[in-house]
């Protein structure tokens, strides 16, 4: 369909999972994609998938917590493709074995979480904005999480930093809307990424399914398709919004799964 024909897109955290899926889908829609990740091999593998899907790709190794590395990423994008239209600040996360409840959380992990999730979003956007404005406008897509919307028994840092990403998204939308720069955030729920499968035991994954209104967990492609929409001109009148993609997890009453059994057969 070439919904992104002519657009240059930078995606951080594109070496696997949701970021990889978004890159491949955007390539399929005609985008030129800068595949940025700290894992060089992962970035190169994703770039090959983008090329195989019909797009053009440039793999870039980046440390999003280091400003000079972020500047290099943006410069590489503009140097290779001449312009920039879309930035996906996707990289993020915390270590759930260190990011626990408040009394037991590792404060060094909190500092890392701020750098990886919040500071990286600010840095990426700060250095992309002049190019987006020069191109006549563009789209910034930030990855938040449903953790920003609810309380939890662990990952205290993760919920806090993703809430900050939501707030930053609104500020960017207001500050640069007059220059035709849109900024929106996506809040995924439980998605079957390699990171989720590696960090959560099977019984916890099954419990997550039970907490959804839908009877399954999402796939990386479910989030990737939404990112394609936000990157495209189809979303030209949408800015400052949080798009929750969670299978109904956050809107469902905690009593609903048990009460289903009360329904007549």
Q: How many residues does the chain have?
A: 265
Task: Indicate if 158 belongs to the active site.
Answer: yes
Write phi, then psi, for 118 (nearest 5 degrees): -90, -55
The single residue of 158, 176, 216, 237 carrying the catalytic annotation is: 158
Three-state SS letters, the chain: CCCCCCCEEEEECCCCHHHHHHHHHHHHCCCEEEEEECCHHHHHHHHHHHHHCCCEEEEEECCCCCHHHHHHHHHHHHHHHCCCCEEEECCCCCCCCCCCCCCCCCHHHHHHHHHHHHHHHHHHHHHHHHHHHHCCCEEEEEECCHHHCCCCCCCHHHHHHHHHHHHHHHHHHHHHHHHCEEEEEEEECCECCHHHHHHCCHHHHHHHHHCCCCCCCECHHHHHHHHHHHHCHHHCCCCCCEEEECCCCCCCCCCHHHHHHHCCC
Contacts of 120 by beta carbon, 8 Å cutoff, 6+ apart: 12, 64, 65, 70, 89, 91, 92
43 near 66, Cβ under 8 Å? no
Active site residues: 158
């Amino acid at each position: 369909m070439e919904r992104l024909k002519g657009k240059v897109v930078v995606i951080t955290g594109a070496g696997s999972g949701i970021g990889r899926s978004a890159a491949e889908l955007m390539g399929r829609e005609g985008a030129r994609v800068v595949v940025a990740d700290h894992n060089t091999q992962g970035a190169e593998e994703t770039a090959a998938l983008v090329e195989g899907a019909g797009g053009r790709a440039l793999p870039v190794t980046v440390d999003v917590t280091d400003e000079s590395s972020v500047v290099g990423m943006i410069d590489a994008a503009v140097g290779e493709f001449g312009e920039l239209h879309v930035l996906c600040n996707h990289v993020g996360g915390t270590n759930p074995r260190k990011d626990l409840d408040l009394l037991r959380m590792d404060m060094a992990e909190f500092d890392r979480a701020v750098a990886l999730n919040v500071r990286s979003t600010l840095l990426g956007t700060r250095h992309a904005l002049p190019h987006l404005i020069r191109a006549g406008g563009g789209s910034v897509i930030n990855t938040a999480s449903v953790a920003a919307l609810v309380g939890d028994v662990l990952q205290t840092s993760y919920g806090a930093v993703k809430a900050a990403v939501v707030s930053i998204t609104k500020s960017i939308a207001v500050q640069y809307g007059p220059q035709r720069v849109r900024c929106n955030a996506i809040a995924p729920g439980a998605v079957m990424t390699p990171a989720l499968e590696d960090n959560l035991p099977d019984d916890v994954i099954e419990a997550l399914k039970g907490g959804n209104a839908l009877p399954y967990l999402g796939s990386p492609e479910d989030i990737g398709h939404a990112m394609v929409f936000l990157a495209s001109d189809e979303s030209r009148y949408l800015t400052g919004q949080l798009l929750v993609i969670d299978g109904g997890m956050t809107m469902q009453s905690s009593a609903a799964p048990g009460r289903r059994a009360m329904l007549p057969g």
